[in-house]
Chains A and B, each alone.
Chain A
Amino acid sequence: MGLTLFDKIWDAHVVAQIEGGREILYIDKHLIHEVTSPQAFTGLQSRNLPVFRTDKTIATADHNVPTINQHLPIEEPLSAKQVAMLVENCKDFGVELYGLGHPNQGIVHVIGPELGITKPGMTIVCGDSHTSTHGAFGSIAFGIGTSQVEQVLATQCLLQMKPKKMRITIDGDLPPNVLSKDIILYLLSKLGTGGATGYFIEYAGSTIRALSMEARMTICNMSIEMGARGGLIAPDEKTFDYVKGRAFSPQGALLYEAITYWKSLFSDEDAIFDKEIKYSASEIAPMLTYGTNPGMGIKVDQQVPIQTDHESPESFSKALNYMGLKSGQSLEGMSIDQVFIGSCTNSRIEDLRIVADFIKGKKVAANVKAQIVPGSKQVEKQAIEEGIAEIAEAAGFEFRQPGCSACLGMNEDKVPRGKYCVSTSNRNFEGRQGPGARTLLASPLTAASAAIEGKIVDVRKYPS
């Protein structure tokens, strides 16, 4: 029987099997940040243990950092303390840190790929559920809790049960102005937030193959929102081209050797998946969420439903009540208050280019506060060099500094109570963007158009 892409990578990383079905899984790269690591370092200290493999550990500050005046001390005392703690821990334990002010700083899932830290065939973990992003390169990448962060720091390994495998195949051409964010929001609306619990997803098919690396990352990023441990895509020439020439990429003969190996990373024709689902790209449209989990999404021209398969009537009405929306209501044409373009889902240079192309020469509607938060210092620099920052500011967007920002509202970037924010981020949970904030998840193009029009519009009406 053939092997899946997932099996090939997983099996190559099993140190040992233990009683009860768990396996000791070796981790190639461990990314850490300020919020989920302090207690893990404290654990190491109390056990008097070093970081086992400092060369496989990289840190950055992203979750709670301010996105303006990053050259100044952090004003918020608790955030300042957490970031200072990261600096101190990295120094004490010998871990490479791309902290505030460093040219490599940024959202952990943006910097991994752009620095070439993320490569095919790897196992990658981070104390953050969106670690699944790195699966776009054909790696096994998943989020872990702080106790597991400590385990990886101490041993470079985790005790894991091998998850089940699901393949989602999407074939055909996407309709104009439909982006990869719409694909994943569409999948979520079909499967719900628990539809892939216990599985690791492989995304396949001609639609996926046609996507850029950035677009693939957006899809893998939100695998966790379906409950999956992660999602991955078989590496191909696009992957190899992206990885080549980056700071941590193999060079010369080693690169050639690496690519030879990476080319073996695909699911064999006779590989068996525990679950297979197929969709056609033609059925996907610009998507928006209307509820309080990412599975509560509809096509832009559909109405808010009366019920779903994934929520009880009580939970469903609680969600609509929080959102201030009613069944049967159209989202298209609905006035909005804020637009957030950023997060590990959609803050890469390609996302910013899409936004800039749309808003160039236009003005943000008077009723809207619009923000762009680039995913990293490198994205910020590139956006400035390409004139994107200038276009954004001329249109009335704030162009801020890198961080997780209003995706989770740990810093000052919050959406006020009761306000509607069209957001390119990944979660529309109650209070996610600030207490009482109402989030509508969408693609960068839908978000950009909402900023300009002051309301939700169907981006298929614009030229592609």
Chain B
Amino acid sequence: MKKFTKVTSSAVPLPIENVDTDQIIPARFLKSITREGFGENLFRDWRYDQSHEPKSDFVLNNDIYKGSILVAGANFGCGSSREHAAWALVDYGFQVVISSYFADIFKSNALNNGLLPIRVSEDHLEEIFKAIESDPNASFTVDLENQSLLIAQTENLIQFEIDAYKKMCLLNGYDDIDFLISKRDEIEKFESTYKVY
């Protein structure tokens, strides 16, 4: 996994609640056997019409919005457990997703792929959407070490939560699997004392 430390970028607004992973990457694009290439079908059916032409009213097709931070409505990533959703966002170029809360499995998938989900209050989410609305180039700085999100426009520095272990993983580019493999002796010891029917 790539290391994550600090990101300064403008942001792409998606002020819709309950964005499900079927929208992020529709099921018909899950037939790849690799982790790459999903970005081109990110938000496929919101982004392209039936004749595969870009829909002008969708934010990813609007040139004034760009950047590696996606800002979305509450409960982002609900539905299917498909990690392809996180792969698609990363492949497209997003490094951070901000929302007022995330679906659990999506959050875990994002963290396992170096995509930082930042949970902010409803009020702060509103403030961020407003900042982007008034200036599409509004800049945001995410500092993982200090667990802070700076809204340059309002100079508001928001603190966000992340558990210490996951923070360490992201800062160092570690995967859970490396950690778990290092614990195999303990796992085997557990198995010898444990009974399942």
Size bin of chain A's contact surface: 35 or more
Given A143-B81, A197-B75, A227-B78, verify A20-B163 contact (CB < 8 Å). yes
B43-61 to A contact mask, C-beta < 8 Å, 1/0 = 0010000100000000000
Q: Which of B80, B166, B176 contacts A147 (CB 8 A)?
A: B176
* A380 to B60 CA separation, bound complex (whole angstroms): 45
Judge whether A147 and B197 touch: CB under 8 Å: no
**Within residues 142 to 156 of chain A, which ones have a CB less than 8 A from any CB in chain B?**
143-148, 150-151, 154-156
Is there a chain B Cβ closer than 8 Å to A82's Cβ? yes
B112 beta carbon closer than 8 Å to chain A = yes
A81 adjacent to B81 (CB under 8 Å) = no
A151-185 Cβ-contact flags toward B at 8 Å (1 or 0): 10011111101010000000000000000000000
CB of A427 closer than 8 Å to a CB of B:
yes
Say which residue of B31, B166, B176 sits within 8 Å of A64 (CB atoms): B31
A254 to B196, CA, bound (A): 11
Is the beta-carbon distance between B187 and A24 smaller than 8 angstroms?
yes
Give CA–CA (A49, B175) in the complex, Å.
15
Tell me whether B18 and A410 are in contact (CB under 8 A).
no
CB pair B50–A435 under 8 Å, yes or no, is: yes
| A72 interfacial contact with B, CB 8 Å | no
A332 at the B interface (CB under 8 A): no
Evaluate contact between B75 and A15: CB separation under 8 angstroms: no
- 8 Å CB contact of A82 from B20, B31, B105, B109: B31
Kindly supply a per-residue 1/0 record for chain B positions 16-43, scoring 1 wherever the CB is within 8 Å of any chain A CB and 0 otherwise.
1110101100111011111100000000
Are the CB atoms of B197 and A119 closer together than 8 Å?
Answer: yes
Q: Do residues A314 and B16 form an inter-chain contact, with CB atoms below 8 A?
A: yes
Is the pair A193, B164 in contact by a Cβ cutoff of 8 Å? Answer: no
How far is it, in angstroms, between the C-alpha of A290 and the C-alpha of B22 when the chains are bound?
Answer: 18
CB-CB < 8 A to A431: which residues of B? 22-23, 26, 45
State which of A38-46, A299-307, A353-361, A387-395 sits at the interface with chain B: A38-46
A214 within 8 A of B: no
Q: Is A229 an interface residue (CB 8 A)?
A: yes
Our pick among A39, A155, A311 for the contact of B180 (Cβ within 8 Å) is: A155
What separation, in Å, do the CA atoms of A64 and B30 have in the docked complex?
Answer: 9
Contact across chains for B183 and A15 when beta carbons are under 8 A apart: yes
Given the complex of chains A and B, what is the CA–CA distance between A119 and B16 in angstroms?
40
CB distance from B153 to the nearest CB of A (A): 23
Is the CB–CB distance between B197 and A257 below 8 Å? yes
Report the bound CA distance from A43 to B108 in whole Å: 18
Given that A311-B17, A312-B17 are contacting pairs, would A39 and B33 also be in contact in the complex, using a CB cutoff of 8 Å?
A: yes
The docked-state distance in angstroms from the alpha carbon of A318 to that of B17 is 11
A154 contacts B81, C-beta separation under 8 Å:
no
Q: Say yes or no: A159 contacts B176, CB within 8 Å.
A: yes
Residue of A nearest to B36 (CB): A39
Q: How far is the CB of A77 from chain B (nearest CB, A)?
A: 9
Flag if A78 contacts B31 (CB, 8 Å): yes
Residues of A within 8 A of B26 (CB): 431, 435
- Once A24-B187, A128-B81, A147-B176 are accepted as A-B contacts, the answer to whether A194 and B75 lie under 8 Å apart by CB is yes
Chain A residues near B164 (CB-CB < 8 A): 19-20
Contact A38 B22 (CB under 8 A): no
| CB nearest neighbor in A for B45 | A431
- Per-position 1/0 for B161-197, Cβ under 8 A of A: 0011110100000011101110110110011001011
Known: A315-B16, A429-B20. 5 other contacts (CB 8 A): A15-B183, A26-B190, A147-B113, A156-B187, A312-B15
25 interchain pairs, CB-CB under 8 A: A15-B186, A20-B165, A20-B166, A22-B163, A35-B31, A49-B181, A78-B32, A127-B81, A144-B108, A146-B84, A147-B109, A148-B176, A154-B177, A157-B187, A193-B18, A193-B78, A194-B101, A197-B102, A198-B104, A310-B18, A311-B18, A315-B17, A409-B28, A427-B79, A431-B23
